[in-house]
Structure 1
């Protein structure tokens, strides 16, 4: 039982963050669990938990989900995932990860500035490259949440709609990546599924807890938390690339 205390605490913390802000679980779970478990298995485990946990989060906020944003992103996400399946065999991920981290941190810093600007309704054609970038990053790094928020924050001015829609997009992106992993035989390990069975209930409980906390936090403060988490996650990605 002592072996499970640390993983349970990490997963509860990570998915409470997801329930509160709509993203960020992998940025907590993956690096912390990688201290005790093999990193490739941890990434697969996190993705397997992300799909039901993110879908559960969107179900708790069903009325705020903006389905049109997912429909616009989906074709590009599929293309990006297919491109990622090919690139992951032929590229060094260090420098793209560094660029992604700097970009995400920059988006968060810009959003924290004291200004009010309505979300710009970009032309639908821009959703294709945005979706492709999300699918590509999720396939290679397993952490597309900050990129999803960076895109949706420019599309949605309502922070509750942002919270509800972000995990839905993440769930679909993670599902497409898992299909690719299954095709390559990377999900056949019994170790992964044993841990998933033991931790998925904790992940769902964390989402519910974060969801309850979110409704006690003022909207302005919640937006600051989301933007601050973008900055932190961007810095973590950049540092991970430099190590």
Structure 2
């Protein structure tokens, strides 16, 4: 085997494979959340500068697969409203990913996941529809979080839930937005030279079977499990994983 070709470490795979299965079960059920679930655990065995580009590639494959299946129900005008701000936000987030020290990134990710989980567990009253101009705020914030942590899907979801009423349109449009977001992220990391690292590409190849299995299980569960109850369990898991990451850094 050539000297530059390094297979992923066994410990990394023992942590990453089951973690990715669970993460893509979540993705298959709610359409986002891969990095929120997996990154706090993967950050214990891999640097975030490896985790985020690797998950960007697996998300790219997963979102394109879902996008082909749901494309007929996409509300294209909402996608077009979000894309310009997503591009700007993604460029800023990609720069921050390589400019900010690793311990600081780990702490920020942990705090971010904990706050997200606490917000999800908090009871919420129905909210009024959003004006179209808010696409710049939600698109930009989602772009930054997507490139920085691979975790912008929930931001786009918040926007679309207050712009659209048809659940099928919401799911399809969110999938289209995430497809574009993952394409932007992969493009930025490609330009930055991140994917010229053979070890990173081998890691992604090793994780693809876990991604496929997780998506399959997630799609099957959506036919049987109440989404509200599932999300409560998900937020509880996120609270624990995010808290563990903060504890490790501090």
Give TM-score scaled by structure 2 length.
Answer: 0.76
- Tell me, in whole angstroms, the C-alpha distance in 2 between the residues paired with 1:213 and 1:55: 21
Provide the alpha-carbon RMSD of the alignment. 3.4
Q: 1:145 is matched with which residue?
A: 153
**Where do 5+ consecutive residues of structure 1 fail to align?**
none
1:122 aligns to what? 130
Equivalent of residue 108 in structure 1, options 107, 115, 120: 120
2:81 is aligned to: 72
Describe the superposition over 1:4-44 as per-residue Cα deviations: whole angstroms up to 9, x where unpaired.
45433222221111101111111222233333334322221
Residue pair 1:107, 1:150 contacting (<8 A) in 2 also: no
- CA deviations over 1:64-89 (Å, ceiling 9, x no partner): 44333222110110111223344453
CA shift, 1:131, in A, is 0.5
Runs (5+) with no aligned partner, structure 2: 1-7
Native 8 Å contact 1:20 1:211 kept in 2: yes
Match of 1:192 in 2: 200
**1:1-243 superposed matches below 5 A:** 3=10, 4=13, 6-88=15-97, 89=99, 100-101=112-113, 104-105=116-117, 107-110=119-122, 112-113=123-124, 117=126, 120-217=128-225, 221-226=226-231, 229=234, 233=238, 240=245, 243=249
Q: Report how far residue 53 of structure 1 moved.
A: 0.6
| Contact 1:159 1:223 (C-alpha < 8 Å) held by counterparts | no
Cα distance in 2 between the residues matched to 1:32 and 1:238: 11
Distance 1:10 1:109, change over 3 A: closer
Q: Deviations over 1:124-156 (max 9, x none)?
A: 211012101111111222221232223223233
Is the alpha carbon distance of 1:75 and 1:235 closer, same or farther for their aligned partners in structure 2, counting shifts above 3 Å?
farther
Offset at 1:158? 4.2
4+ runs of 1 displaced by more than 6 Å? Answer: none
Q: How many residues align?
A: 236
Q: Scaled by the length of structure 1, what TM-score is found?
A: 0.78
Conserved 8 A contact 2:43-2:106: no
Contact 1:104 / 1:231 at 8 angstroms: preserved in 2? Answer: no
